Chains A and B, each alone.
Chain A
C-alpha cells in the first residue's frame, strides 16, 4: 500500500509536475526566439556547430518545435513522443554546451533571451536536469492528460 503510494507520488504525480514545468519552460523559451529570429540566428551561429547554410533555417524551425512540443506536453497530447523529442533536443543542447565550454567560447547560453547570462557548467547541469525530467516523463504515465479523456470516456462507455 505504501509502496503503491510512493510509486504514485514519485511516478505519476511527479511526472505531471515535470510535464507542466518542462512544457512551460519550452513554451516560454520559444516565444522570444520566434519574435526575434535574426537575433536567435546569431545565437545559433555563436555555438559554431551548425553549418552557415543551415543556421537561419534552424533558427526559424527550432523555436516552433519548442513551442509545439511544450504546448503538447502541458496539454498531455502524445506525451511520450513529445518528451522524446524534447529529450533529444536537450541532448543536442547539452552536447553543444559541453563543446563550447570545452572550447571556452565566450558566449551566452541564449536559451531564453539573446542577452542571457554567460554560459557556464551550471548551464550544462541545468540542461541535464531537464533531460532527466524528460526521461522521467517518458517512462511514467501522468494524470490530467487531454488524451486520457479518450480513455476515461471509453471506460464510461464500457461500464
Chain B
C-alpha cells in the first residue's frame, strides 16, 4: 500500500517536475529535448526517440537520446519514411483520428528497420490539427537492472500517457506562440508592404492629379478653340493653356506658311526677338525639322525635337528650349512649338512630352480647321460677289430682254408695214390712181396760177355773148350781092386743106399782123362772114369779136361753118 502510494507520489512528482520543466520553454525542439530527458528516467528507458512532424509537408524534427550519433543522423534522414510509416493519415488534411494517443505495437509497425532495435514502446499522438508526434522508448531497464525488460506496467503506462499529455499541452502552447510570432512577423512585413503601396499610390495620385489638371485644361482649351477661327487666336490660346497645364514659364509656337509667305507667332514669358519675321522663322522651322525624327514633310505629322537647347541654338530664341516639337500641316505649312523650363525647374516627364505631342496634334487640327474656314470664307465671299454679279447680269439681261421685246414689236410693225407696202407696190390700186390724178391737178392749177405764161381755166370767148350768125344760104347771097368778104378763122393748115372759095385766112393768133396787111383797106361797111369753129375752139367767135372791136359794121358768123357751106354745094377750094 505504501509502495503504491509511494509510486503514485513519485509519478506525481515526475509529472510536476516535467510540467515545471516544460512550462517556461517556447521552442518545440527544446520542449521535445526536455521531455525526452525528463520522461526517459521515470519510465526507465535506455534510449528514446521523439519525432514532431507535419505529415502534410513531410517535415519536422527528429530528436534522439541514447543513440550513437551516426544512427541519430541516419534517423533524421529517414523522417519522410517515418512520416509515411507512422502517420498514414497525413493525407486526411487535418482530420486526424479523435484519440490523441495511440499505442502502437512494434510488430504492428510496418517497417522495423526505421527505428533502432529495442524500441518497443511506440506512441503516436496528435498535437494539433497539423502536427503529429511519435515517441519511441526502449529498451526498458528492468527492475533488477539487467535490462531487456518487456512491456510497461500499468502505472508506467499511465505515467507515460500523463507525460505525453503534458508534452502535447506544452507543444501546443509552443506551437501556438510560434504561430503567433510568425503571424506577427507576417503582419509586420505586410504592414511594410502596405506602407510602400501607400507611398506608391500617393505618387500615382499626384501624377493622376496632374493629368486631370492637364486634361481639364486641354478640355477647356477645346471648348475655347471651338469659338476661335483665326490661326493667331488659336496659337495664343493654345500656348496659354499648354504653359498653364504643364507649368512652364515661357514658350512659343509659330506656324510658317511658305505659300502665303506669312508667319503666325504666339510667344509668352519672353520678348519677341524677331521670330515673327519670315526669314528667322524659316530658319527655326528648318532647324527643328532637321533635329526632329521627321524625314519628310508628310501632312499632319508631329515629331519631338531631340535636345532642343542645342538643336535650336542660334535661331534667336529668347529663352532656352527644354522641349520642342516640329509639326507639319502640309507641304507648305509647318510649325514649331518650343517650351522653356518648368516653374519647378524639373524636366518634363516623358508622359508629359507625349501629351504635349498629342496636344500639338490637336493644335494642328484646329489650325487646319481655321485655315480651311478662312479658305471657305474667302470662297464664300467670292461666291457672294459672283452671285451679286450674276444677279446684276440677270437684271441687265432682263432689261435687255424687255428692250429686245420692244424692238421686236417695233420691228414687227415695221416689217408688216413694209410687207403691206411691198404688196401695195405690186398691185394696181384705184386709190393710187386717184391720188396721182389729184396731185397732177393740184400741181397743174397751182403752177398755172404762179406761171407768167398761165392760161385762163375757161376761154374768154365763152364768157361773152355769141355774135350774130348767118346761114350758109344767106351768106352766099351776101357774098354775091353785097360783096361780103368770107374770113376763114382756122389755122393755116386747115385753110390750106379746104376753104370757101375766095375766103381770107385770119387766125386769132396772127390777127393783128394779117389784119393790117389784108383788111386795112376794106371799108368798115363791108359785111364780113367769119367761119371756122369746132367742139374745142371757136376761132370764128374770137375773130368776129376782134373784127367788131375794129369797128366793122357787119360781122357775121357762119352757122355750122364750112360743113354747112359744102353741104349746100357752094364753091370751095382747092
Interface positions of A (Cβ within 8 A of B): 34-38, 41-42, 44-53, 55-57, 59-65, 67-69, 72, 77-82, 84-85, 104-107, 138, 141, 145, 147-148, 150-151, 153-154, 157-158
Option from A52, A64, A147 in Cβ contact (under 8 Å) with B444:
A64
Provide the bound-state CA to CA distance between A153 and B190, in Å.
120
CB neighbours (8 Å) of B237 from chain A are none
Binds A, one of B22-30, B60-68, B344-352, B449-457: B449-457
Q: Is the CB of A147 within 8 A of B425?
A: yes
Option from A38, A52, A85, A107 in Cβ contact (under 8 Å) with B455:
A38
Q: Given A35-B453, A49-B535, A55 and B415 touching (CB < 8 A)? A: no
Q: Is the CB of A68 within 8 A of B436?
A: yes
CB neighbours (8 Å) of B2 from chain A are none
Provide the bound-state CA to CA distance between A141 and B439, in Å.
25
Q: Given A78-B429, A106-B494, A55 and B444 touching (CB < 8 A)? A: no
Option from B419, B421, B453, B494 in Cβ contact (under 8 Å) with A36:
B453
CB neighbours (8 Å) of B422 from chain A are 147-148, 150-151, 154
Q: Given A150-B422, A154-B419, A61 and B455 touching (CB < 8 A)? A: no
Q: Given A81-B429, A84-B433, A52 and B411 touching (CB < 8 A)? A: no
CB neighbours (8 Å) of B534 from chain A are 45, 48
Q: Given A38-B453, A44-B536, A52 and B462 touching (CB < 8 A)? A: yes
Q: Is the CB of B443 within 8 A of A56?
A: no
The interface residues of chain B, by DSSP majority, are classed as helix
Interface members, chain B 406-445 (any A CB < 8 Å): 411, 414-415, 418-419, 421-422, 424-429, 432-433, 436-437, 439-441, 443-445
The reply to whether the CB of B13 lies closer than 8 angstroms to some CB of chain A is no
Option from A62, A85, A153 in Cβ contact (under 8 Å) with B433:
A85
- Nearest-neighbor residue (CB-CB) of B451 within chain A: A37
Q: Whole-angstrom distance from the CB of A81 to the nearest CB of chain B? A: 4
Q: Is the CB of A84 within 8 A of B428?
A: yes
CB neighbours (8 Å) of B491 from chain A are 46
Provide the bound-state CA to CA distance between A38 and B497, in Å.
24
The reply to whether the CB of B393 lies closer than 8 angstroms to some CB of chain A is no
From A55, A64, A80, name the one whose CB has the most chain B CB atoms within 10 angstroms: A64
Q: A59-B455, A64-B443 are in contact. List 5 more A-B contacts (CB 8 A).
A: A38-B453, A48-B535, A61-B437, A61-B445, A68-B440
Provide the bound-state CA to CA distance between A25 and B220, in Å.
111
Q: Whole-angstrom distance from the CB of A113 to the nearest CB of chain B? A: 15
- Nearest-neighbor residue (CB-CB) of B425 within chain A: A147
The reply to whether the CB of B538 lies closer than 8 angstroms to some CB of chain A is yes
The reply to whether the CB of B260 lies closer than 8 angstroms to some CB of chain A is no
CB neighbours (8 Å) of A147 from chain B are 421-422, 425
Q: Interface size (B, Cβ < 8 Å)?
A: 45
The interface residues of chain A, by DSSP majority, are classed as helix
CB neighbours (8 Å) of A151 from chain B are 418, 422
Provide the bound-state CA to CA distance between A147 and B417, in Å.
12
The reply to whether the CB of B574 lies closer than 8 angstroms to some CB of chain A is no
Provide the bound-state CA to CA distance between A78 and B535, in Å.
36
Q: Given A79-B425, A80-B427, A154-B419, A61 and B536 touching (CB < 8 A)? A: no
The reply to whether the CB of B447 lies closer than 8 angstroms to some CB of chain A is yes
Q: Is the CB of A81 within 8 A of B496?
A: no
Q: Given A53-B458, A65-B436, A154-B419, A45 and B425 touching (CB < 8 A)? A: no
The reply to whether the CB of B202 lies closer than 8 angstroms to some CB of chain A is no
Q: Whole-angstrom distance from the CB of B444 to the nearest CB of chain A? A: 4
Q: Whole-angstrom distance from the CB of A76 to the nearest CB of chain B? A: 8
Q: Whole-angstrom distance from the CB of B488 to the nearest CB of chain A? A: 13
Provide the bound-state CA to CA distance between A38 and B460, in Å.
13
Q: Whole-angstrom distance from the CB of B177 to the nearest CB of chain A? A: 133
Q: Is the CB of A81 within 8 A of B436?
A: yes
The reply to whether the CB of B448 lies closer than 8 angstroms to some CB of chain A is yes
- Nearest-neighbor residue (CB-CB) of B448 within chain A: A60
Q: Is the CB of B458 within 8 A of A150?
A: no
- Nearest-neighbor residue (CB-CB) of A141 within chain B: B426
Option from A68, A81, A141, A157 in Cβ contact (under 8 Å) with B415:
A157
CB neighbours (8 Å) of B421 from chain A are 147, 150
The 3 A-B pairs at the shortest CB distance, nearest first, are namely A45-B536, A147-B425, A106-B493
Q: Is the CB of A150 within 8 A of B418?
A: yes
Q: Is the CB of A150 within 8 A of B425?
A: yes
Provide the bound-state CA to CA distance between A66 and B234, in Å.
101
Q: Is the CB of A61 within 8 A of B444?
A: yes
CB neighbours (8 Å) of B538 from chain A are 52
Option from B411, B433, B536 in Cβ contact (under 8 Å) with A81:
B433
From B419, B436, B439, B459, name the one whose CB has the most chain A CB atoms within 10 angstroms: B436
Provide the bound-state CA to CA distance between A68 and B442, in Å.
12
Q: Is the CB of B433 within 8 A of A61?
A: no
Provide the bound-state CA to CA distance between A9 and B457, in Å.
47
- Nearest-neighbor residue (CB-CB) of A76 within chain B: B425
Provide the bound-state CA to CA distance between A148 and B423, in Å.
10
Provide the bound-state CA to CA distance between A53 and B537, in Å.
9
Q: Is the CB of A68 within 8 A of B439?
A: yes
Q: Whole-angstrom distance from the CB of A44 to the nearest CB of chain B? A: 7
Q: Is the CB of A106 within 8 A of B497?
A: yes
Provide the bound-state CA to CA distance between A81 and B493, in Å.
38
CB neighbours (8 Å) of A47 from chain B are 536
Q: Is the CB of B537 within 8 A of A52?
A: yes
- Nearest-neighbor residue (CB-CB) of B497 within chain A: A106
Provide the bound-state CA to CA distance between A67 and B440, in Å.
9
Option from A37, A51, A60, A138 in Cβ contact (under 8 Å) with B536:
A51
Q: Given A37-B453, A52-B536, A158-B415, A63 and B429 touching (CB < 8 A)? A: no
Q: Is the CB of A56 within 8 A of B458?
A: yes
Provide the bound-state CA to CA distance between A2 and B265, in Å.
94
CB neighbours (8 Å) of A51 from chain B are 535-536
Provide the bound-state CA to CA distance between A141 and B422, in Å.
12
Q: Can you list 13 residue pairs at the A/B interface with Cβ under 8 Å? A: A34-B444, A50-B535, A53-B459, A60-B447, A61-B441, A72-B436, A78-B436, A80-B425, A104-B497, A105-B494, A106-B496, A150-B421, A151-B418
